[in-house]
Amino acid sequence: MSTVGPPPHYEELTRAISAAMVALYAEVYDHRRTTASTFINGDVVVCILEDILCSSEQELVAAGGSSEVIEGRIAFQADREDEFCAAVERVTRRRVVAFLSGNQASPGIACELFFLQPLDGAL
């Protein structure tokens, strides 16, 4: 019985993607506490970011403004989608064909989901 393991350089790829996502968050929010974990399964890349809220967002959430924080995060993703995709493309050397993002204000967690063009070029 054979098992399929992670692709070559899996840990290097996941660390580089995590670092790129954390850098994008820091650039926009001037918030350097964010941590990330990235997973790759075939043509899918998932990056989970934790501790994403800056101080002003944390205050807004505490005051009942979670929806405003999420709306701001959605706008951030729309404005920066090209940068997110470019970072993953640069690291994986594969084209991103779809990008989805999800955010939660409490706790401050985000999920960045990238679909890569299949290696056989289909789509």
The values of phi and psi at residue 65, to 5°, are: -100, 35
Residues sharing a CB contact under 8 Å with residue 24, sequence separation 6 or more, in sequence order: 80, 83, 84, 87
Q: Are 50 and 107 in contact (CB under 8 A)?
A: yes
Mean pLDDT value across residues 79-94: 94
User: What is this structure's pTM?
Assistant: 0.86
Domain residue spans in the chain? 10-116
Looking at this protein, which amino acid is placed at residue 112? E
At 31-61, the pLDDT tens digits run: 888 899 999 999 999 999 999 998 899 999 9
